[in-house]
Amino acid sequence: MALFNSCSCSSPSRSPLLPFKQSPSNPILFTAPALRPLRRRSVPNRLPPRLTASLAVESPPESGNDRGGKSKELLLEVKDLSAVISESKQPILKGVNLAIYEGEVHVVMGKNGSGKSTFAKVLVGHPDYEVTGGSVVFRGENVLDMAPVERSLAGIFMSFQSPIEIPGVSNIDFLNMAYNARRKKLGQPELGPLEFYGYISTKLDLVNMKVDFLNRNVNEGFSGGEKKRNEIFQLAVLGAELAILDEIDSGLDVDALRDVAKAVNGLLTPQNSVLMITHYHRLLEFIKPTCVHIMEDGRIVETGKESIAKRIEKEGYKAMPAT
């Protein structure tokens, strides 16, 4: 029987675009929407007038629990989700249940190897995994029937635990293509390079990123912390209704952690939500969760408030109730 891991700590059960990137094992599937070679362009020295292109996440910053006064819509509902590794058929997810409402921040913690990243990757349709049971519904649509790119265009963004490099594709071209693909999907006019530059330059400050990163190839030669910043920069530019952030805090120095957390908070609105995987409570000092879930052996075995994270940091996973 499914234990429904909604955040009943605050409400009953409760999305950037996913800039799908090349996966080393599946270079074709994991590409940005409509990713195609573009001629390299360099970033202008002078900024054109700033534009106000907007997507779902460009709303006034507001964070914390239960943002907004209106009744919240169910955004993501995961029921009894099970999945195996495509190649070996080894079961990893063994019945995950989770519900995320609009405006909520859900955190997944758990021991190394408990299945957290697999869960995140299955949600975005990573080809390394095969779903063997259960359902995933995002804004009323069956996600499991959707190709990764469709999930991305529908408003699901994922930042990977280990962001991969895309040689030969500059950050700005990558983002321009992905951004326009989403705008097209939303029935909005696409932005040309100059207009896009005007828009994107307003986002650099959000993550304290230097302008020269725009012309560099996606993540190529970036330090660990720079890659994480770049992931959040992508989220800020592309927008999302559900942002899945896998260990966005790992490898960040304390200032970078603050910047990244500030940027995530700045992106939260009453309409969009975050599913965050982390090992450390320190992230939750900056981004306040609606609730915290503990994953163990491919299942969510405990759901509660931020205090769970504090307890685990102090006492370790042995302090978890027996399951």
User: Interface residues with ligand ATP (CB under 6 A)?
Assistant: 85, 92, 110, 112-118, 128, 161
Task: Write down the least CB distance from residue 23 to ligand ATP, Å.
Answer: 10
**Closest CB to ligand ATP among residues 74, 245:** 245
When the beta carbons of 138 and 160 are compared against Mg ion, the nearer one is 160
Running DSSP on this structure, what letter comes out for residue 309?
H
| Token pair listed for 60 | 């006034």
Least separation in angstroms between CB 248 and Mg ion? 12
Token digits for 35?
């990713």
The listed partner (ligand ATP, Mg ion, none) that binds 42, CB under 5 to 8 Å by sort, is none
Residue number, 10 or 161, with CB nearest to Mg ion: 161
CB of 87 to ligand ATP, least distance (A): 7
Q: Name every residue whose Cβ is closer than 8 Å to that of residue 175 and which is 6 or more positions away in sequence.
A: 19, 196, 200, 234, 237, 238
CA 226, 228, 232, 234 torsion-angle sign? positive
- The residue type of 56 is A
13 contact choice in ligand ATP, Mg ion, none (CB below 5 to 8 Å, kind-dependent): none
129/213 with CB nearer ligand ATP: 129
Residues 6+ apart with CB under 8 A from 2: 79, 80, 95, 97
Binding at 134: pick from Mg ion, ligand ATP, none (beta carbon under 5-8 Å per type): none
Cβ 120 to ligand ATP shortest distance, Å: 8
Write out the residues near Mg ion by the rule CB under 5 A.
Answer: 116-117, 161
| Tokens, residue 168 | 């030969």
Other C-beta atoms closer than 10 Å to the C-beta of 267 total 25
- Smallest distance from ligand ATP to CB 263, Å: 22
- In the complex, least distance from residue 85 CB atom to ligand ATP, rounded to whole angstroms: 5
The CA-CA-CA angle for residues 39, 45, 48, to 5°, reads 90
Nearer to Mg ion, 67 or 116 (CB): 116
Judge contact between 224 and 162, C-beta under 8 A. Answer: no
In the chain, the amino acid numbered 92 is I
Binds 110, which of Mg ion, ligand ATP, none (CB < 5 to 8 A, cut-off by type)? Answer: ligand ATP
